[in-house]
Structure 1
């Protein structure tokens, strides 16, 4: 089996590599520092597992996940996130992720998750399992933000965190005009009229 690690911090990739190398069922451990680099590597070679950070400099992990599951549906994707909120895990699950693990997890849990995902099974962090087990079993959506695309969801969170449209554009390498268009779509889909409503919604649903 081959695994690709995608995280924008080299020290994190190095640490993950050291944990994974002793696993005999992985014959190749490759690395990518951005979403674009990961997608380029996946075009060149076949991989069985993708260990994917949710926060990347060029694309959100959710966007990468969406592309991967569309182009290479057989790849098992384990998401890594600093955010332990159930909505993130549910969104990743709905987009086709095989597992979702917070970066607060122990090395033992990471190895357990990789073992489960590598076999084609689903894995959810122990910190989240009690909160989302019922939702995953029912596979139902009850959140307004589930109607958003991966990029819209990413911008929703940035707006909720008080980041200006200009700064969002700079971070995502798109124009502020494009960000404004995304904001309009978000407000329309979620039946809102202002940033304050976005902030309130994200707080109430534990997205920030």
Structure 2
């Protein structure tokens, strides 16, 4: 019997995903929630084998969520299941401690493969992520194609909070860093993306995320 938690704030997505999970793992006990505080409550009271974790959920904390889950259950398998850009974010989430990254744009068969893979082997990377990893190792300059891929994990966190309209003090409190550190990250982000204002940042990121 496997014990799985699905953290996803859209009920229709939860329903469809649980249907696939039960198809792959007939002997399964599952819990579901649409926000991160409730997810932590479940993690603190239930021994879990797998957590499917969306990123853009109410009261979500980005990369910090993985660390908070691991403090409660160090050995649990975490599969990120999100619509955020796989090419840009997947490797960062893997480095942050996730066991896999699955795009919501994946086919039903790919979702089955990912769930079975992390349960059996504790790891899952899509073909796209594997190729991105190989490109990064073999041809570092390939990162120049999309400047977002040059941002560090912390820079991505700061950038995403800026795009949510948060001010320096709010970002510092959320990430538990100093205001001067936030300002330093902002300078680096602006330099790497070639922008001078937050408005230009919005426009630049919007264009890059539609990159083909």
Listed as ranges, the matches of 1:118-157 within 5 Å are 118-135=119-136, 143-148=150-155, 150=157, 152-157=158-163
| CA–CA separation in structure 1 for the residues paired with 2:134 and 2:40 | 30
| CA–CA separation in structure 2 for the residues paired with 1:135 and 1:77 | 24
**Which protein has the bigger helix share?**
2
In 2, are the aligned partners of 1:84 and 1:127 still within 8 Å (CA)? Answer: no
1:195 aligned to 2:186? no
**DSSP-derived class of the 1:22 partner:** helix
Instruction: Evaluate the alpha carbon distance shift between residue 42 and residue 86 of structure 1 in structure 2; reply closer, same or farther with a 3 A threshold.
Output: same
Match of 1:35 in 2: 36
1:81 aligned to 2:82? yes
In 1, are the aligned partners of 2:6 and 2:52 still within 8 Å (CA)? Answer: yes
In 1, are the aligned partners of 2:102 and 2:111 still within 8 Å (CA)? Answer: yes
Per-residue Cα deviation, 1:54-94 (whole angstroms, up to 9, x for no partner): 11011145332231133322111111121234221011111
Unmatched 5+ stretches in structure 1: 159-163, 166-175
In 2, are the aligned partners of 1:156 and 1:186 still within 8 Å (CA)? Answer: no
Unmatched 5+ stretches in structure 2: 139-148, 174-178, 191-195
Instruction: Evaluate the alpha carbon distance shift between residue 111 and residue 181 of structure 1 in structure 2; reply closer, same or farther with a 3 A threshold.
Output: same
Listed as ranges, the matches of 1:20-31 within 5 Å are 20-24=21-25, 26-31=27-32
| CA–CA separation in structure 1 for the residues paired with 2:152 and 2:180 | 14
Per-residue Cα deviation, 1:119-154 (whole angstroms, up to 9, x for no partner): 2432122343322344489xxxx834423485x353
Per-residue Cα deviation, 1:85-124 (whole angstroms, up to 9, x for no partner): 4221011111111111111101111111011111243212
TM-score of the two chains, using structure 2 as the length reference: 0.73
Match of 1:91 in 2: 92
Instruction: Evaluate the alpha carbon distance shift between residue 70 and residue 143 of structure 1 in structure 2; reply closer, same or farther with a 3 A threshold.
Output: farther
Q: How far 1:200 sits from its partner (Å)?
A: 6.8
- Aligned-CA RMSD value: 3.3
TM-score of the two chains, using structure 1 as the length reference: 0.74
| CA–CA separation in structure 2 for the residues paired with 1:28 and 1:118 | 14
